[in-house]
Amino acid sequence: MSPFLRRLRIGVLLLVLLLAACAPTVAPSAPAGETASATDEAAGPAATLRIGILGDESTLTPYTYVTGYPGWNMLMLQYDSLYQLDLEGVPQPWLVSAASTSDDGLTITLDLKEGITWHDGEPFSAEDVKFTFEYFKQYERSRFTRALVPVASVAAEGDTRVIITLSAPAPSFELGALADVPIMPQHIWAEITTPEEQPFDPATNTGTGPYKLVEYAPDQFYRFEANADYFAGAPAVNELVFVKFADDAGSLAALRSKEIDFRTQIIPPEQIEPLAATPDMQIAQGPLYTTQMLVYDMTKPPFDRPEVRQAMSLAIDRQDLADTIYLGAATLGSAGWIHPASPLFNAEVVTESDPARAQQILEDAGITDGDGDGVRELDGTPISFEFLVNGADSLRLRLAELVSEMLAEVGIQANVSAVEQATWEEAVWPGFDVSQGRNYEMAMWGWSAPVQADAVRFGTLIHSDPAFGNLNLTGYANPEADALAEAIATEIDAAARAEMIGELQTIVARDLPFIMLLYPDGAYAYNASIYDGWAFMTGQGVFHKLSLLPETARP
């Protein structure tokens, strides 16, 4: 594509979107006539697929991508992990041809597939795997460094054998590390000592994955080109253009007008039927393991008082949230965190809505409305606080507004403050490092599907040590919960591990380090005349690497 043509495409799309009052920043659109479906063998791969995103994901290296979703998913278009989740969400060998684990669970031997190359043509080898593991330990990147904590050592034997020695059994090592950690090229990253500061450079964004990031305009767009020599099979789409939108409404308008062909965010429930009635538009729908929840700073009033947290949970009518915001397309949140559909769900954990009981708990604790203004006081101070939400996310904004109304009914004033995504993230999770503390009172939050899908990761949400509890955004500290989380992380007996996970659910439901609201279903709209190869992965939706590969290339 010539620079002139690219600039022309950007200009045309910008004009169209502005006229439609969509207000996103934009990227190139596909030339007229290049609309072949990837499943049409006669037509061949789709030429260009235009995808809407809401946030800028920085330069999309393992150290600079911003969000777990869609940032990690975009990252993994460029990179591969040793294992890959199949459409059932089960880890399968990917860069690996054979694997074995010792009887004590401490030694993992991996034989790598031969003939795999990096985007720049250099051969992929066992030394790259060894380098990656050691690099993440030397230069911390929370998600991947945490996943590799159990690794005591890693050795390369020849070009294709990797031997991983663990310091203790790690029951979810396949799911949490082998199927999650992006393998990086040693010949590029060995000289990089400030990985979080690297400017965009296509050479740095070199992986073994099905796509290569070739162009990035901050707060505007990303452009990926297919890796035709991908070891698993040539991608089903030649070019991906990710368009950054200012808000949810803008991306929806662009989807309806077919200025984009897909967006990574789920479709608001009330939009499903109108979009399904749009010519060429199809809907992919299924349950997700993503979460909608309340987080708060438990180290400060009023959230340091268990009575306040209990009253807040009881004041919230989760069924009303599901019916009003999701039109019933959601599972009600469990106070114990684990999804009710999970085989590890503790059915003895009961999550109730009872505003009258909430008010009684507050009254019994002496938290009353002394001046009659409708807001209760705690130690003479009104229970009134800022309630942060990402203003670009219309569903979360509506949830926050409805939750605020429910809390007001029991005398708790949560003042909704809609802010930009970066402001929201930096307040709740400064530098994406919980050891830096927190700068918020209460916020709408949620975790991407992998956190819920791997129950062993439960401990990362509640452990008081930031090195273990790297997702503990609320400052929760309970020695009993810490001990259970540590035991779960190393217990290889499945039955014993399940029992401990059930016990931890009971503790969390009692202490409420966060308040679970909902587990939304996922509905994704896409223009099937452009591409109809989207595949729903259990609990994780349709935006993942496998959706952009032909069926024959999927595990």
**What's the helix, strand, coil split of the chain in %, to 5?**
35, 20, 45
Could you give the percent of the chain with pLDDT greater than 70?
Answer: 92
pLDDT digits (tens, 9 = 90+) for 188-226: 999 999 999 989 999 899 999 999 999 999 999 999 999
Question: 287 falls in which pLDDT band (50, 70, 90)?
Answer: confident
Q: What is the DSSP string of 168-188?
A: S--TTHIIIIITTSPP--HHH
- Cis amide prior to 382 (ω within 30 degrees): no
Task: List C-alpha distances in Å: 14 to 7, 242, 259, 358.
Answer: 10, 14, 10, 51
Residue 99 counted as domain residue: yes
Q: How many domains does the chain have?
A: 3
Is 459 within the bounds of a domain? yes
| Helix H or strand E segment including 92 | strand 91-93
pLDDT at 18: 32
Tell me the average pLDDT across 492-517.
96
Please answer whether residues 105 and 152 qualify as being in contact, where contact means their C-beta atoms are separated by less than 8 angstroms.
no
**Mean pLDDT confidence for 440-456:** 90
For range 274-300, the mean pLDDT: 93
pLDDT at 329: 86
Please count the other Cβ atoms lying within 10 Å of the Cβ belonging to residue 381: 10
Selected residue with higher pLDDT from 36 and 478: 478
What pTM was computed for the model?
0.73
- Are 253 and 272 found together in one domain? yes
Do 216 and 344 fall into the same domain? no
How far, in Å, CA of 446 to CA of 456, rounded?
Answer: 18
> Looking at the domain assignment, is residue 201 inside a domain?
no
User: Closest Cα partner for 411 from 353, 363, 461?
Assistant: 363
Residue given tokens 């995504």 in the structure block:
421
Give 414's strand partners: 385
What pLDDT sits at residue 14? 34
Task: Classify residue 200: in a domain, yes or no.
Answer: no
List, for residues 47-97, the tens digit of each pLDDT value.
999 999 999 999 999 999 998 889 999 999 999 999 999 998 889 999 999
For CA atoms 483, 485, 486, 488, the dihedral sign is positive
Q: 325 with 304, same domain?
A: yes
pLDDT, one tens digit per residue, over 353-381 is: 999 999 999 999 999 999 999 999 999 99
Residues 353, 478: one domain?
yes
Residue 387 reports pLDDT greater than 80: yes
Q: Is residue 99 pLDDT above 80, yes or no?
A: yes
Kindly report the average pLDDT of the chain as a whole number: 90
What pLDDT, in 10s, does the model give residues 24-55? 333 333 322 233 344 444 345 779 999 999 99
Q: Strand, helix or coil at 213?
A: strand
β-strand partners of 221: 217, 243
Of 134, 135, 172, 174, the C-alpha closest to 154 is 134
Q: Where are the beta strands (DSSP E) in 130-210?
A: 151-157, 161-166
Query: Which 3-state string (H, E, C) describes 439-495?
Result: CCCEEEECCCHHHHHCHHHHHHHHCCCCCCCCCCCCCCCCHHHHHHHHHHHHCCCHH
Question: Does one domain contain both 353 and 455?
Answer: yes
Nearest to 427 by CA among 436, 437, 439: 439
pLDDT at 3: 36
Angle, in degrees to the nearest 10, between helices 306-315 and 355-364: 160
Sequence-distant (≥ 6) Cβ neighbours of residue 391 within 8 angstroms: 247, 397, 418, 419, 420
116 and 21 in a single domain? The answer is no
β-pair partners for 552: none
Same domain, 74 and 113: no
CB 359 within 8 A of CB 388: no
- What's the pLDDT tens digit per position in 228-281? 999 999 999 999 999 999 988 999 999 999 999 999 999 988 899 899 999 999
Highest-scoring range by mean pLDDT, 209-218, 484-493, 532-541: 209-218
- CATH code, domain carrying 515: 3.10.105.10
Angle of helix 306-315 versus helix 394-408 axis, rounded to 10: 110
Q: Is residue 397 situated within a structural domain?
A: yes
Q: Are the CB atoms for 94 and 84 separated by under 8 Å?
A: yes
Domain assignment of residue 68, yes or no: yes
DSSP 8-state class, residue 20: T
C-alpha–C-alpha distance, residues 210 and 220, integer Å: 23
Higher pLDDT, 100 or 10: 100
Q: Please give the C-alpha separations between residue 277 and each of 256, 377, 428, in angstroms, as whole numbers.
A: 10, 51, 39
Residue partners of 19: CB distance under 8 A and separation at least 6: none
How many Å apart are CA 509 and CA 548, to the nearest integer? Answer: 40
pLDDT, tens only, 312-358: 999 999 999 999 999 888 999 999 999 998 889 999 999 999 999 99
Residue 232 and residue 342 share a domain:
no
The two tokens of residue 239 are 């070019």
The parent domain of residue 243 ranges over: 3-79+209-280+528-553
